[in-house]
A = this chain, B = another copy of it.
Amino acid sequence: MKPILFLLFNLIIITHSYGQGENKQMVRLAKLVIDSTQLEIYNTYLKEEIETSIKKEPGVLTLYAIAEKARPTHITILEIYATPEAYRSHIKTPHFLKYKNGTKEMVKSLELIEGIPLLPAMKIY
A70 to B116, CA, bound (A): 10
Q: A78-B78, A115-B76 in contact; A122/B64 too (CB < 8 A)?
A: yes
Binary flags per residue of A41-59, CB closer than 8 Å to B gives 1, else 0: 0010011001100100010
Q: Are A67 and B119 in contact (CB under 8 A)?
A: no
* A123 and B123 in contact, given A64-B78, A67-B116, A115-B67 (Cβ under 8 angstroms): yes
A 71-91 binary contact with B (CB < 8 Å = 1; else 0): 010011010100000000000
Q: Which 10 A-B pairs have the closest CB atoms?
A: A66-B115, A65-B118, A69-B114, A62-B124, A123-B124, A67-B116, A61-B125, A124-B124, A64-B122, A68-B113
